[in-house]
Amino acid sequence: MEKKLLSLIIPCYNEEESLPFLFDELTKVAEVLSERYRSEFIFVNDGSKDNTAKVLKHYAAVDERVKYITLSRNFGKEPAMYAGFCNADGDYVAVMDADMQDPPSLLPQMIDIIEQGEYDCVATRRVTRQGEPPVRSFFARLFYKLSNKMSETTIVDGARDFRLMKRQMVKAIVRMSEYNRFSKGIFSWVGFNTYWLQYENVERVAGKTKWSFWKLFLYAIDGFVDFSNAPLAISAIVGIIFTILAFIMVIFIIMRKLIFGDPVEGWPSMVCIIVFIGGIELFCIGIIGEYLSKIYLEVKNRPIYIIGDTNIDDAN
Ligand code: UDP
Ligand code: MG
């Protein structure tokens, strides 16, 4: 019987320092699995500005399992992962970070779980957030709470992008060719039986995180907007409440005029109300604008990533 193929997708952005550690570890894990599986390592170089491209070329020259896809510029982790999915041939496909925060040593265990046949996918979640700034952990938790209230697509707290999937699930993800990509939502949306493997947080082996607080904040907003229409509904409801409130106030003012005459009073409170309503209006328009801009990007139908250089023959 032919051995099954295992594809490992690794998005890399300025990871020249982590890659040697990772490559070492991947080789070891592949060795352990080699009796039953062939492996391919698909490194997606997301427009790195350091020597990542060079390092990858070197690995590809010495090890034929190494495939690299260098994107024409930095597109972001989401497009990089998508480029990997589109070019992975494996019966089983896994995504993992280049910095070893997703321990490759978990792979044999993940494969065993899938092989038992009950699950289509093994996903991982961190049960601790050790080594992470407390403010970041707090907002991350808040995001998961809010997003699970607002959207029907559940996003598990602490879920990593690190997961192993059967071919069938990868096909489904490739079909989700939306421009605004939020993988944690996409993985959940496509369904399939998922086993959650828990592990303790591991700190990055070398190099620096690519996510500033601000970038994460914007990413969280993407998460809300891509998988929930609740913000639109909330803004509509706030609109209705204020209209009703305004009606009551009009009636109140007419009655007061009829009963007490017309003293010119209360303009400061009037200004406060106008500013308050104006603020809420702008906020709601902002929410609509957020969705509109997503539609705009989606309608333009631009490619999600562009390949600059690769050693995969029929890359697409
Ligand atoms: N990454 C990428 N493109 C980017 C940013 C990050 O391909 O624009 C990759 C990065 O090389 C790493 C993974 O995505 O393999 C996760 O990034 P990072 O470790 O910086 O995020 P963190 O683990 O701190 O959330
Ligand atoms: Mg990391």
Q: Give the whole-angstrom CA distance, residue 58 versus residue 62.
A: 7
Asked if the structure places residue 239 within a domain, the reply is yes
Do 243 and 196 fall into the same domain? no
Instruction: Report the number of distinct structural domains present in the chain.
Output: 2
User: pLDDT digit string (tens) for 32-86?
Assistant: 888 889 999 999 999 999 999 999 999 999 998 999 999 999 999 999 999 999 9
Do 241 and 154 fall into the same domain? no
pLDDT, average across residues 213-238: 83
Do 261 and 151 fall into the same domain? no
**Predicted confidence band of residue 137 (pLDDT cuts 50, 70, 90):** confident
User: pLDDT digit string (tens) for 106-127?
Assistant: 899 999 999 998 899 999 988 7
Which domain does 43 fall in, by range? 4-210+303-310
Pocket of ligand 1 (CB under 6 A): 11-13, 15, 46, 74, 76-77, 80, 97-99, 101, 204, 209-211
Q: Give the whole-angstrom CA distance, residue 198 versus residue 127.
A: 6
Do 200 and 237 fall into the same domain? no
Name the β-bridge partners of 44. Answer: 11, 69
Instruction: Please say if the pLDDT value at position 146 is more than 90.
Output: no
Do 17 and 125 fall into the same domain? yes
Cα of 15 to ligand 1 centre, how many Å?
9
Do 17 and 88 fall into the same domain? yes
Do 26 and 104 fall into the same domain? yes
Do 70 and 179 fall into the same domain? yes
**Exposure string (b/e) for 191-224, b if CB count within 10 Å is 16 or more?**
eeebbebebeebebbebeeeeeeeeeeebbebbb
Cα of 296 to ligand 2 centre, how many Å?
31
Instruction: Please say if the pLDDT value at position 263 is more than 90.
Output: no
For ligand 1, atom 19, name the residue with the nearest CA.
209
Q: What pLDDT sits at residue 228?
A: 82
Do 144 and 82 fall into the same domain? yes
Asked if the structure places residue 91 within a domain, the reply is yes
From the alpha carbon of 46, which atom of ligand 1 is closest? Answer: 7
Q: Give the whole-angstrom CA distance, residue 231 versus residue 36.
A: 49
Q: What pLDDT sits at residue 265?
A: 73
More confident residue, 296 or 128: 296
For ligand 1, atom 22, name the residue with the nearest CA.
209
**Predicted confidence band of residue 12 (pLDDT cuts 50, 70, 90):** very high
Q: What pLDDT sits at residue 236?
A: 81
- Pocket test of ligand 1: the residue of 50, 52, 56, 77 to mutate, having most ligand atoms within 8 Å of its CB, is 77
Report field, pTM of the whole predicted structure over 0.85: no
Cα of 128 to ligand 2 centre, how many Å?
14
Nearest ligand (C-alpha, residue 212): 1
More confident residue, 68 or 221: 68
Do 189 and 234 fall into the same domain? no
Do 204 and 234 fall into the same domain? no
Q: How many CB atoms lie within 10 A of CB 252?
A: 10
Cα of 271 to ligand 1 centre, how many Å?
48
- CATH number, residue 72: 3.90.550.10
Cα of 172 to ligand 1 centre, how many Å?
23
Instruction: Please say if the pLDDT value at position 201 is more than 80.
Output: no
Q: What pLDDT sits at residue 169?
A: 94
